[in-house]
Chains A and B, each alone.
Chain A
Amino acid sequence: MAKPLVTMTGINKHFPGVLALDGVDFQLVAGEIHALMGENGAGKSTLVKVLTGAEAFESGQIKLDGFDAPIINHSPQEAQERGLATVYQEVNLAPNLSVAENLFVARQPRRLGLVNWRAIHRRAEAILAGIGLDIDVDKPLESYPIAVQQMVAIGRAIDVSAKVLILDEPTSSLNDQEVANLFALMRRLRDQGLGIIFISHFLEQVYEVCDRITVLRNGRLVGQYDVAHLARRELVSAMLGRSFDDLAALSRSDQDQSNDTTPVVRARGLAVRGGVKPFDLDIMPGEVVGLAGLLGSGRTQVARVIFAADPADQGTRLINNRQLPDRPLDSVRAGLAFCPESRKDEGVIGELSVRENIVVAQQSKLGAFHLMSHAEQVELAQHYIDLLQIKCASMETPIKQLSGGNQQKVILARWLATHPELLILDEPTRGIDIGTKAEIQRLCLELADQGMAVLFISSEIDEMLRTCSRIGVMRDLEKVGELTGDQLNSSAIMAAIAGGEADD
């Protein structure tokens, strides 16, 4: 066993109302690439933040190679001084400075008190040569692609001190060739004895480059595994928290649906460059279609492309057999409604009242020249408060005073008020209580009975099984299949999500 670089034991961390880390253990040894995996809220980013001092923790112990006593980092900078360097998804360098200067910010070699540019230039070339990068170091960093910028950031981290390199979703904006280059560099650094923590949602990549995997779920350690001995389906079930009872094989659903009705949405070969790969999807009136997949598998992006929140780079998008401009407002006017995943950032307007939050979408659909009267607004708001049983002191209460579940219902009401033909729900039940969850699921079925089409995205497979009549499965930004009828069971879905060698 190689020498341990980082040993975390029994780490506990609360966020208001949530136990973010519950006695988590983690160990990184020299000369390994170690994946940290888990779904949203599993605690992997919290664990890294605790390690690098970006967040404090309440109890537990962190031991670092080279330090006799347990350590606590109080800031990322302190962590860096102790040899823990993090390279984030967004590169943390100054785009306006040259590559060479970026490598030496705050530690410039001096001569006679003045910055010694000649030494900076020479040493920068040496550092980059050490990681196999031969570029003009005097050009501004921003003149290079993100992939190169990331390598420069890694170069700086290693040169400053790092024994441990933390790569936080480094591959999400890279193309295949760039990913291959990054992996080559990671392997090279591993062989030099560095410990690398790799956070990624891409299963394929984890299997390609990592030696070991630590899986977290709901703030708890699920386990630590050797990649070579962990089947993909076991990894997926570790992340999602279910075990396989049977190994039902996945067969792709036959696409020949009876064409007696026009689909609300007919997507053919829609794709985003660097994002989701070409996919087909039909959604019929009165149908609840689910999208399953791990976080980052592209399920949200499919929804965004269908809604035109992200413009597609190729493929066709027919709404009720009509081609529309790629603008969200046109989608709204054509009868689409989108409840986004992060209701705090994209949905709730905290300072406004429940009433205002409900009417805002309908109002913008009508346009600025058809203002709704106060009476109309009250009537509309009251209708949905009753229908969805939204619990609020009055419809004039600021929405931020409501519980998460009730906020979610308000957002739902907002879109229902536009009488959509297709309602897109992205994680509509996350972070809300069981009772409300059940109500929202029941509502979905009722709406479908009334002829509305629903696209339902969720991490909870049970919930999808209860609501959806058809489930599309996403893996690594690709739609890998559709399940219907008796294929709709949790083991089939998880097998589809895991993909790869489905029978080992």
Chain B
Amino acid sequence: MSTPTVLDDLNSAPVAASQPMGRFLLDSLRKNGILLAFVLVVIVFAILQPALLSPSNLTNLVLQYAYVLILALGMLMVIVLAQIDLSVGSVVALTGAVAALVCVRGGMPWWLGVLAALAVGILCGVWQGFWVAFVGIPGFIVSLGGMLIFRGLAQLLLNYQSLSPFGGTYYDISNGFLNGLFGGNGYDVFTLVIFAIAVVGFAVAAWRSRAAKLRYQQKVSPLPVFIVQIVVVAAIAMAYAWQISHNRGLPVILIILAVFIMIYGVVMGRTGFGRHIYAIGGNLMAAQLSGVKVKKVTFLAFVNMGFLAAVAGVVYSARMNAAQPAAGNSFELDAIAACFIGGASTTGGIGRIGGAVIGGLIMAVISNGMQLMGVSQGIQPVVKGLILTLAVAFDLWNRRRSAVAA
């Protein structure tokens, strides 16, 4: 029996490198689309308002919008599960309020406030994860309820007033800088060194992954293209470092952000938990049949979202140096938009940490740029809402097209 030869025609069935150059350009455009969009957004706003790229604004950008990126990490996991969490803005307010009660009113040390906030955030996640995972209520409804519940609790805890100031170490979480370690003449050498290490690390990692792909005879971008990619990313990073080193140096929050992004990158890419999130989002029935503990994974994703919302709550209240009953209003929109702009799919299963981070940066630059330009308060949410809708429309269009192609 000639079994292997009968199967031969199947082996060439997938879309192979039939039209190499055009196909390659289209593919890389789709893969790097968000990165290009980000560069485009930056260029447009930099032309409209050159102050966007000033050292002080580039520093402020990180201090001001760190919360979006932190929330986007957790939101991505929830969205890949084909769920949604609308309550994160309210959890930001509630956890900020708890931290303020502990530190400001209670006079306790800063780290107790942080721990209390994180504990409350995890509890919020446990509450919502329970209803979604074990009772089976859609995350949309549960978190809509949570949005009201946690907002109300925040207002009650704060007695409808803002509570301030934190000051001290707590304040420095979002406003502190690491600098001057290596001196420098009008610029901070330490910042440049840290960035240089990060860039080298990135280049080495990219090289190793390319080498691994080559070993499996997979398609990779040609060497010149690869080098250009690395150089462009490195140049952007070092230009950024150069600018902020002329301001106040390396923000503490940037280091915290980098650590979180790396951890969650590994969680989603290389842990059973992360991969099972993708499996559930791709085909719930299949995941269940394969032995994935769907309820446990769903529950943990919501608990994790609560935890990250609490981190964002701490970061935001530290930045404001106050806990406010209205803090975190519409933060869920920023985080959800970051994920969808970053290529996550509304039907679940698709979305990457890197994409969500760039999506968050796009949202940050757009908000910041509009503020610098003095765009009126009413226009800003209109623009953000339009961008969210268009990003999802693009995703649908893209998928329909690839479905037709297949």
Contacts and interface: CB of A to CB of B under 8 A. Distances in A.
Interface of A: 76-77, 80, 92-97, 101, 105-108, 110, 113-115, 117-118, 121, 132-136, 138-139, 142-145, 147-148, 151, 156, 177-178, 180-181, 184-185, 187-188
B55 to A, nearest CB: 39
Contacts of B272: 106, 108, 110, 115
B292 A177 contact: no
Given A94-B282, A97-B279, A181 B287 contact: no
Contacts of B6: 132, 180-181, 184
A464 B290 CA distance: 46
Given A118-B212, A138-B216, A105 B14 contact: no
Contacts of B212: 118
B10 A133 contact: yes
Interface string B37-69: 000000000000000000000000000000000
Contacts of A101: 275, 279
A93 B14 contact: no
Contacts of A115: 269-272, 275
Nearest to A183: B6
Given A101-B275, A132-B4, A138-B218, A107 B10 contact: no
A185 B289 CA distance: 23
B296 to A, nearest CB: 12
B350 A92 contact: no
Contacts of B278: 94, 96-97
B208 to A, nearest CB: 12
Nearest to B272: A108
A77 B288 contact: yes
Contacts of B287: 94, 105-106
B406 A142 contact: yes
Contacts of A96: 278, 281-282, 349-350
Contacts of A94: 278-279, 282-283, 286-287, 349
A145 B9 CA distance: 12
Nearest to B345: A96
Contacts of A143: 14-15, 406
B285 interface: yes
A303 B226 CA distance: 57
B291 A77 contact: yes
Given A105-B287, A110-B272, A181-B9, 8 more contacts: A95-B283, A96-B282, A106-B292, A118-B212, A147-B13, A148-B13, A151-B10, A187-B1
A117 B13 CA distance: 24
A24 to B, nearest CB: 25
A121 B269 CA distance: 15
B276 interface: yes
Given A77-B288, A133-B7, A136-B218, A184 B1 contact: yes
Nearest to A79: B289
- Which of A94, A136, A139, A188 gathers the greatest number of chain B CB atoms within 10 Å? A94
19 contacts: A92-B283, A92-B285, A92-B286, A94-B279, A95-B349, A96-B281, A97-B349, A105-B279, A105-B290, A107-B290, A108-B272, A115-B275, A132-B4, A143-B15, A147-B10, A148-B13, A181-B6, A184-B6, A185-B3
A94 B281 CA distance: 8
Contacts of B218: 136, 138
Contacts, number: 116
Contact of A145 (B13, B281, B349): B13
Nearest to B285: A92
B18 interface: no
Interface in B77-132: none
B11 interface: yes
A198 B14 CA distance: 27
B286 A181 contact: no
B1 A188 contact: yes
B266 interface: yes
Contacts of A138: 216, 218
A180 B10 CA distance: 11
Contacts of B292: 105-106
Nearest to B11: A134
Contacts of A77: 288-289, 291
- Which of B270, B281, B292 gathers the greatest number of chain A CB atoms within 10 Å? B270
B8 to A, nearest CB: 8
Contacts of B271: 113-115
A148 B272 CA distance: 26
Contacts of B286: 92-94, 105
10 A-B pairs with least C-beta separation: A94-B282, A96-B349, A96-B282, A106-B291, A114-B270, A94-B283, A105-B290, A92-B286, A132-B7, A106-B290
A138 B217 CA distance: 11
Interface in B1-44: 1, 3-4, 6-7, 9-11, 13-15
Given A96-B350, A105-B276, A115-B271, A181 B290 contact: no
A143 B272 CA distance: 24
B285 A135 contact: no
Contacts of B290: 105-107, 156
A145 B14 CA distance: 7
A177 B291 contact: no
Interface in B288-341: 288-292
A184 B14 contact: no
A340 to B, nearest CB: 26
A150 B153 CA distance: 52
A181 B349 contact: no
Contacts of A180: 6
B14 A136 contact: yes
Contacts of B276: 105-106
